[in-house]
Amino acid sequence: MTMNGPVVLKFGGAALSEPARVVERVRAARGEGAGVVVVASARAGITDLLAEVLARPGDEPLRRRALARLESSHRGLPEQGTTHLARTARLLGRIERDYPADRPLGDRLLSQGERLSATWLAGRLRHAGIPAVAVEADHLGLMTDNSYGASSILLGPSQRNVRRGLQPILRSGRVPVVTGFFGRSQEGRVAVLGRGGSDYSATAIGAALRARRVELVKRDVAIFTADPKRVPDARPIRWLTYEEAEELAQFGARVLHPLSIEPARHAGVQIVVRSLGRGGTTTTIGPANGHRPIRAITSRSPLKLFHLRVAAGGERPGVAAEVTERLAAAGVNLVTLFTSASMLSVVVEPAASASTLRALAPMTGEPGAGRLERPRPVALVAAIGRGVTGDVLRRAHRILRGAEGVVASPRSISMVIPLHRERDVVRGLHRTLVRRRG
Ligand code: ASP
Ligand code: MG
């Protein structure tokens, strides 16, 4: 089914470092005649920088450096952008005093990266003769829940607002350049969608407008059967079903935001992941169309594994809930959790190690309570595709030796392995499960 709506083009931070190619893509899509909506991420490194400021709210030199960097990476800002810079300077000034007590203030600061890049990009497009206007997603009414730091889009209320806000711009022949990554919470504050969230903004906007497709344009990341840097004979994947893409996003190292598939599936909108480099490789994500089920190997690293030995058993009711609640309250993003009779294990990003230790410490120490082991460096390697678990058990069980934990489902099997074995495991799985299958 093809839709009559516009083409939605989302540009990642790295892609924006090649403005000439971005302009070329927008122009080509406009040539299709159905209108174009652009969704912009922050420029490369900017969200990391703002997140660093939030991690060290007392660091005044860091704040000054951040502001200088924001200025230098958005040269040639139109007037509206200058206002955003001044606002960012004021926000930075408030961080030391009001953050983290005022959690949404952090989201507001993070959102400035996208506000700056959207106005910057709209300026570049106008300069190239394309009538573009910057649109801020919170003003547009992209509505989210109140889970600051990693909120979810409320598709129903957003749909109405997105249509009402963008359709008049499209009808007048202009290109709205919408900020990715954040929306407006139920309390009317800025709420970000979690790292890599601009993909999710783009698919939600595409669903609301019944887009003919949503293109996620990356600089040189494409969807392969494995990371080509680790596995030289990995191949690009041309077609994925929504379900396969969801599995990949769940385990893939940030190629797609995990929540970004659902809005597209719901509205039946196709997603195209396009790489500006890599010869313009594309992967199309859509409904099942009879193509052969895919196989892919993903890996996420480096990660930290914490084992919590629990006297009364890792599977005791309530233990896992207590762990996940404590981690959520500490703002720790849990990569995976598994339990055994005596142990509960959690995997987190290295940057969250200290908060994980602090959050779980109260569960240890007292007689009869748990004991927390020193965290170990690990990778989370997953094999994805229907029937893959059976194949691993039949043909690649030796690879499981030395795994710290394994979680299997009908469409994927993921394993936590010591970091130093990552490359061998990824290659071994690719050889046995992907290549040999032909
Ligand atoms: N700028 C945000 C991030 O880096 C959102 C995105 O890039 O999609 O996480
Ligand atoms: Mg980014």
Listed in sequence order, the DSSP H helices in 153-298 are 155-171, 198-208, 242-251, 261-267
Residue 180 beta carbon below 6 angstroms from any ligand 1 atom: yes
Among 110, 195, 273, the mutation site with the greatest number of ligand 1 atoms within 8 A of its Cβ is: 195
H or E segment to which residue 215 belongs: strand 213-218
| Closest CA relative to residue 124, chosen from 86, 173, 178, 177 | 177
**Listed residue (134, 124, 16, 74) closest to 66, CA to CA:** 74
Residue 367 CA to ligand 2 center (angstroms) comes to 46
Residue type, 27: R
The three-class DSSP label of residue 246 is helix
Residue 89: which of 53, 137, 121 has the closest Cα? 53
Q: Output the pLDDT for position 76.
A: 87
Indicate the class that CATH gives domain 296-435. Answer: alpha beta
Residue 215 · residue 355 · CB < 8 Å: no
Contact 112, 148 (CB under 8 A): no
Question: What residue has token string 């547009």?
Answer: 140
What distance separates the 2 farthest-apart alpha carbons in the chain? 72
Q: What is the pLDDT of residues 27-80, one digit of tens each?
A: 999 999 999 999 999 999 999 999 999 989 999 999 999 999 999 999 889 888
**Which residue, 147, 138, 150, 148, is CA-closest to 183?**
138
Residue whose C-alpha is closest to residue 74's, from 47, 95, 110, 46: 46
Centre of ligand 2 from the C-alpha of residue 220, in Å? 14
What pLDDT does residue 341 have? 79
Ligand 1 pocket, 181 CB below 6 A? yes
Q: How far is the CA of 121 from the centre of ligand 2 (A)?
A: 14
- Gyration radius of the chain's alpha carbons: 22
In what helix (H) or strand (E) does residue 124 lie, and over which residues does it extend? helix 103-127
Q: What are phi and psi of 108, to 5 degrees?
A: -60, -45
Atom 5 of ligand 1, nearest CA residue: 196
Measured distance CA(297)–CA(223) in Å, rounded: 11
Asked whether 235 lines ligand 1 (CB < 6 A), one says no
Q: 346 with 328: CB under 8 angstroms? A: no
Distance CA(355)–CA(345), nearest Å, equals 16
C-alpha 56 – ligand 2 centre gap (Å): 20
- HSE, CB side, 13 Å, CA atoms: give it for residue 235: 10
Task: Check if 110 has its Cβ closer than 6 Å to any atom of ligand 1.
Answer: no
What's the DSSP call for residue 233? T
13 Cα nearest atom in ligand 1: 7
Q: Is the peptide bond before 302 cis (omega within 30 degrees of 0)?
A: yes
331 CA → ligand 1 middle, Å: 18
pLDDT of residue 5: 95
Ligand 2 centroid vs 47 CA: distance in angstroms? 6
Helix, strand or coil, per DSSP, at residue 24 = helix
**pLDDT value at residue 132:** 98
DSSP annotation of 42: P
Query: Is the minimum distance from the CB of 73 to ligand 1 under 6 angstroms?
Result: no
Domains of the chain by residue range: 7-286, 296-435
Helix ranges (DSSP H) in 285-362:
319-329, 353-360
Residue to probe by mutation, ligand 1, list 17, 41, 178, most atoms within 8 Å of CB: 41
DSSP state of 313: -
What's the gap in Å between 40 CA and the centre of ligand 2?
9
41 lines ligand 1 (CB under 6 A): yes
At residue 250, the pLDDT reads 85
Instruction: Judge if the beta carbon of residue 57 lies within 6 A of ligand 1.
Output: no
Straight-line distance from the first to the last Cα atom of the chain, in angstroms, rounded to the nearest whole number:
31
- Identify the residue whose C-alpha is closest to ligand 1 atom 7: 196
* Superfamily for domain range 7-286: Acetylglutamate kinase-like (3.40.1160.10)
Quote the ligand 2 centre to 88 CA distance (angstroms): 17
For the chain, residues with pLDDT lower than 50 are: none
Ligand 1 atom 9 nearest Cα: 195
> What is the secondary structure of 43-93 as a DSSP string?
PTTHHHHHHHHHHSTT-HHHHHHHHHHHHHTTTT--HHHHHHHHHHHHHHH
Confirm or reject: Cβ of 196 under 6 Å from ligand 1: yes
Q: Could you identify the atom of ligand 1 that is nearest to the CA of residue 181? A: 5
Rounded distance from Cα 197 to ligand 1 centre (Å): 6
